[in-house]
Structure 1
Amino acid sequence: MSFKSRVLCFLERNLIARPLWVLYYFLPIFIKLIDFMWPKYDNLLVFSGQFGQKFSDNSKYLFQNFVKHYSDEFQIVWITCNKSLIGTINPNQSKDFQVIYQYSLAGIITLLRAKVIFYVMGRRDIPFFAFSRKTTIIQLWHGIPIKKIGTGADGDNWLSLVTRILNLSSYTYWICSSAIDRNATALCVRLPIDGVVITGLPRNDYLIEHKNVPSSELLARFPFLQKKIILYAPTWRDNTIVRFFPFDDFSLEDINAFLEANDAYLLLRGHWTDDIYARNGKLEYDSATEGRVVAATHDMFEDVQELLPFVDILISDYSSIWVDFLLLDRPLIFVPYDLEEYEKERGLLYNYHQITPGPKVSTNKEFIEAMQEYILNPEKDSEKRRYIKKIFHEYDDGLSYQRIYELIKSRSSSRS
């Protein structure tokens, strides 16, 4: 049973929780009516973060570029449910933008006045709020999916129907990175094809800009980043805990010996939802991190996009992180140890072996050999990576923020 299914069962059986469920799903219907009647400010843009709690991902980078390039033209606001972010995002009290707490009078009025709203996850980024068709809603999402998302993952059940009515149906645009990504996204989230727009992802603007100029602040905090860095970043599983080393011949000693010989570090980074398990000692961080194998949790590296320019080799599975990493043209290794099970339970949008430009390893020996080959010859498989990059990235110019700006302007012009 998936996490969402377990939560749903709890809500259905718990009489105390049921009113909260009703409030979460149906209060926005009334707010939509108020939003429809409220006058809008044409130049007011509101950005939201992951569940209203984080300053990260596509929203963060688009927000920063809009502040940098368009603050004279727009009133730019970051809305948050996390009060601690207010001083963190705007410590110098800049007048080019505002950071506003959602559960305040100013937050509510700002949301009602906003002409454009940006999401990065979904409706939970701005909890208990919904917008009428007078507001332009742009879903930036948080990756280029190779696995099923939205209703494509949920199937046709009553919960997905409610979600579409109250959530997905309200999106004006959904941002994507290429033609094939647009088609897959439109199918998964059930938006018309012209509602899915190819702009590139704002977080990859940072990646392209800093490809050869990594963060000096991050390097000052973690000097070992100047060494050879191998990042192992698998995605999360619906029903099981991720296994970093699913090898019958697993040997941490052999991996450490390899890393020592090559003056390299192996960073283990689970999906952000897995960090909960890591804190409870239920992931392999405790039993498999020593020497040059480092637990690179989200507490340590909150924003993986800042880390990626330091990475020489990326190891992953079904995560979209490796699709971003194609923009750097650096080696990729895959550990799809549960591919058959994952395809049955979650589902993939593509033929996995055809789109993954790197070796698939299933033993500790193959794992080490693949890393060694790429350290000796980083250009190996470069042609394959460039071919797949063209499929998933229509642009690699670092200007997705400009295309989103033009999308907003064209939307505004068509309505005037």
Structure 2
Amino acid sequence: MKVNKRNPWHWVWLGLMTFNTLLAVLLRRFIASNNQVVLYGHKLNGNLGAIYRESLNYKELSLTYFTMDYAYYRQLKSEGVLVAWAGSPQALRLLVKAKALISDHGLHSLVLLLDYSSLKFIDVWHGIPFKGFDKHDLKVQRRYDEVWVVSEFMADLYENKFGFKRQKLKVVGYARTDLLINPGKISRAELMREYDIPVTDKKVILYAPTWKQDDAGRSLYPFDMVEAEFLRELSKMAEKHNCIFLTRMHLNAASKCSESFANVYTVPADKYPDTERLLLLSDILVYDWSSIAFDFLLLNRPAIYLDVPPPFRKGFSLDGSYRYGEAVTDLAEFKAALAKAVETSEAGMPSINEHRKEIKTIVYERYADSLSSDRACQEISRIV
């Protein structure tokens, strides 16, 4: 859960979690751990969600999602998910008895267990980054027992650029991408209903920019256009090309648009946390510097990238040479690229160029095989 500093309930929930964490630090000195595993992140999605779902196929594994958000706890519980609310006695028992904790973001007050307990910590992160990190970043994750990465290429990046010790890095692939490689029998109509979009056979174009990052004055909309101006243009393009647009802002950005426009739908991350299923629905991706591009890469569908300045103070982890699709620098180029992409994005017959294939091979190596969740669960079995 992302803590809203203006919400008093969030401070109460954080206080209760901190209290339980302090008790767990004390009690773990006298109580032996078992094979339980804690999952911790903003939502049960991405790598955490994929690993949790796969773990249900392993009788020896017991993974429980841990959250401060009481409303989200109630929602997951009603769906049959193994979940613990951070302020409850159940959460205390879980923290006392657990063998390992797997996270994909920060830890909040759970960092006390990293400092003062034998609980094993594993990081799975939440996206392959364009944004530059250096040895001063990811300080907490560098203290983890293990860090799971997508490929040997990314392990080299973590070691040489981010300052991680090589022996802590394990290559398992990216569990979240398994669904993109092997989606099973998920229907398009099912996905549209899931995201509250009218069922249609029109092409779906996903607009998914990154947030302001290190540039406080950065706009979420390109070409020096304000929100209403840009979305109005999307609406016009949708009508002209018989398609619909979905706007997906980063979790750290405002989730709702102030105005509505025909054939333009908002799918905010806080309401619809499962990004991979959204990507399955999308025929074309429009992006700038968002790491969502590396996930969409595996679908081999057309993409357009907005050639706008990068908002990263520390440069790149993976630079602009890792972007793919047609580059556009203004509205006219965007309209032309979109018209071309809509015409060429026939279902089941995606266009793909050699540069894109090269990026996929470099970043994912042999680990884009739909088995990353299974490899992760085998590693958990080894640990517990």
Confirm or deny a common fold (TM above 0.5): yes
Where do residues 112-261 of structure 1 align in structure 2 (5 Å cutoff)? 112-124=96-108, 126=110, 129-130=113-114, 132=116, 134-149=118-133, 152=134, 156=136, 164=139, 167-210=140-183, 213-214=186-187, 216-220=189-193, 221-224=196-199, 226-237=201-212, 238=214, 239-247=216-224, 255-261=234-240
Mapped to 1, the partners of 2:166 and 2:20 lie a distance apart of 26
Q: Which residue pairs with 1:11 in the alignment?
A: none
- Aligned-residue CA RMSD (Å): 3.3
Residue identity opposite 1:135 in structure 2: L
Normalised to the residue count of structure 2, the TM-score between the two structures is 0.82
Q: TM-score when scaled to structure 1?
A: 0.76
> How far apart, in 2, do the equivalents of 1:317 and 1:106 lie?
43
Cα contact 2:178–2:372 (8 A) shared by 1 = yes
| 2:327 is the alignment partner of 1:360 | yes
CA gap 1:401/1:328 in 2 versus in 1, 3 angstroms: same
1:47 aligns with 2:39: yes
For this pair of structures, how many residues does the alignment match? 360
Q: Which residue of 2 aligns with 1:274?
A: 253
Query: In the TM superposition, what whole-angstrom CA distance separates every residue of 1:209-249 from its partner, at most 9, and x where no partner exists?
Result: 32773465432332246420111101112323433232579
Q: In structure 2, do the counterparts of structure 1 residues 57 and 111 end up closer, same or farther at CA, with 3 Å as the change threshold?
A: same
What do residues 286-312 of structure 1 show as CA deviations (whole Å, max 9, x unaligned)?
36x512233332355332222110101
Structure 1 CA distance for aligned equivalents of residues 273 and 302 of structure 2: 23
**Does the alignment pair 1:86 with 2:73?**
yes
* Percent sequence identity over aligned pairs: 23
**What are the Cα deviations for residues 234-268 of structure 1, in whole angstroms up to 9, with x where unaligned?**
11123234332325797766543432232111222
Q: Which residue of 2 aligns with 1:350?
A: 318
Answer yes or no: is the 8 Å Cα contact 1:31–1:130 preserved in 2: no
Where does structure 2 lack aligned partners over 5 or more consecutive residues?
A: 6-11
Q: Conserved in 2, the CA contact under 8 Å of 1:248 and 1:363?
A: no
Amino acid across the alignment from 1:389:
K
Offset from partner CA, 1:345-383 (integer Å, 9 cap, x none)? 24211331x211222211101011111112222344433
Name the aligned partner's letter for residue 181 of structure 2: I
Residue 242 of structure 1: SS of its match in structure 2?
Answer: coil
- Structure 2 distance, partners of 1:29, 1:90, is 22
> Using the alignment, how far apart are the partners of 1:375 and 1:124 within structure 2?
44
In 2, the alpha carbon distance for the partners of 1:137 and 1:128 equals 12
Which of the residues 11, 23, 34 maps onto 2:26?
A: 34
Secondary structure of the corresponding residue to residue 205 of structure 1: helix
Matches of 1:348 and 1:128, distance apart in 2: 31
Instruction: Note if contact 2:85-2:91 (Cα within 8 Å) is conserved in structure 1.
Output: yes
Provide the residue aligned with 1:290 in structure 2: 261
Q: Is contact 1:27–1:128 with CA below 8 Å preserved after alignment?
A: no
The one-letter code of the counterpart of 2:250 is H
- CA separation of 1:211 and 1:75: change in aligned 2, threshold 3 A: closer
AA matched with 2:369: D
Quote how far apart the aligned CAs of 1:58 are: 1.6
> What amino acid is aligned across from residue 386 of structure 1 in structure 2?
K
Provide the C-alpha distance between the structure 1 equivalents of 2:165 and 2:99, rounded to a whole number of angstroms. 22
Q: Which residue of 2 aligns with 1:15?
A: none
Where relative contact order (Cα < 8 A, 6+ residues apart) is larger, the structure is: 2
Structure-2 separation of matches of 1:29 and 1:291:
48
Instruction: Check conservation: 2:301, 2:351, Cα contact below 8 A.
Output: no
Q: CA deviation at 1:77?
A: 1.7
Counterpart residue type for residue 260 of structure 1: E
